Amino acid sequence: MTTPRRVVITGIGAVTPIGIGREALWDGLHAKRSAVRTITRFDPSPFRTHVAAQVDDFVPGDHMEAKRVKRLDRFGHFVVAASSLAIADAALELAVEERSRVGASMGTALGGLGYAELQHGQYQAAGLRAVDPMLALAVFGGAASCNIAIEFGLTGPNTTNAMSCASGSMAIGDAARQIRAGYADVMLAGGAEAPLSPLCFGAFALIRAMSTRNDAPATASRPFDVDRDGFVMAEGATVLVLEERERAVARGAPILAEILGYGTTNDGHHMTAPHADGREAARAMRLAIEDAHLVPGEIEYVNAHASSTPLNDTAETAAIRTALGPHADAVPVSGTKGYHGHALGATGAWEAAICAMAISRRWVPPTLNLVTPDSRCDLDHVPADGRAMAVEVAISNSFGFGGINACLVFRRHD
């Protein structure tokens, strides 16, 4: 049997509310400040929730030509910008690459739906002639990976999934499998989301999924805290450069971590509520650990999905206990959505990047805003301050509406 090829992360391109670029994202974590604010993108007063995490300092023209800026919507801007940043971070010279061996794998829950909403308003106000002719090319989710391919001339494997809040993690896991199996040498993989428009935002407000801590936005997202009351929506994108290890070493690429395993399951239970015992989330973790040829006792850190919803955080705690067994009590488990909110399909990619950096930088970020732990969330959730520690192996969890569960396993590169 052919030995599967090894996959490493050589670049990170981040467009997030706490920082644009890999170093800015890392600095944002160390600053221990939440990016959640009262929404300014539109009037949130009709809704129960008035807060979100916006990327306010993003300038598309800093990352692409003016022609591309004009032809793309905000979702497309995030995708291309994050990809450009990732390529630069990896010192990847596409001019000398075999483009058929370079692909793109992206995830998004809503794609260009926010832009479609805006254009529908234009249509109602002034008719079809007022609608952007590029609308049909912007609104479908697959525009994410296709725009990457077009921007950089990539002809390798290309796919975009729409698996709700697990999309970004699944895109990375699927991309790693493409490289391991020999179908590609390099993959740009991650997630993007631009959901801050009235209808997209309002849809989640209608089902009472989001926090209503409108008088204290910075503490609205509080994973594992007894007073958590829902997630906080965010926007942005993160793209990772994944490479076959031997070629990355040969070209002297900066290697941040190795991707060892990937597992995914479905609860088959409910569209919004997880199994209370987290049984299928636990199985996704176990599958990822088995795929990595490890055992639960070798996991040293968990970057949790930690959405700050009453049901998810307790179910995830139960799932981690099931997956790791007695070893769970010795493992730090932190969630970073208190910093940057929850950008649906993009967040798993943000958190994969954070997990990889936690390994390479030997520092685990804290769970921001965790003041009074829920008694049912009884693991070491790293409250208040980050923790300096040499993590060799870590996992990152992402769970989404529809019962989707995904887990990635990372290891320090030897």
- Which active-site residues does the annotation give? 165, 305, 342
Q: How many CB atoms lie within 10 A of CB 262?
A: 24
Read out DSSP for 49-92?
--EEB--TT--GGGTS-HHHHHHS-HHHHHHHHHHHHHHHHTT-
By C-alpha distance, which of 169, 177, 175 is closest to 291? 177
What angle (nearest 5°) sits at the alpha carbon of residue 48, between those of residues 47 and 54?
Answer: 70
Parallel, antiparallel or unpaired: strands 257-266 and 301-303: unpaired
d(CA 110, CA 93): 32
Structural contact between residues 395 and 275, judged by C-beta atoms closer than 8 angstroms: no
Query: How many CA atoms within 13 Å lie on the side-chain side of 374?
Result: 23
d(CA 297, CA 342): 29
Structural contact between residues 173 and 413, judged by C-beta atoms closer than 8 angstroms: no
Q: How many CB atoms lie within 10 A of CB 97?
A: 17
**Residue whose pair of structure tokens reads 């968990």 in the numeric block:** 302
Reduced to 3 states, what is the DSSP secondary structure of residue 408? strand
d(CA 215, CA 105): 39
Structural contact between residues 410 and 12, judged by C-beta atoms closer than 8 angstroms: no
**Residue whose pair of structure tokens reads 């959405």 in the numeric block:** 307
C-alpha pair distances (Å), 279 with each of 170, 269, 319, 320, 360? 19, 11, 6, 9, 31
Question: Taken in order 264, 267, 273, 274, is the CA torsion positive or negative?
Answer: negative
Look up residue 200 and give its amino acid.
C
d(CA 55, CA 41): 10
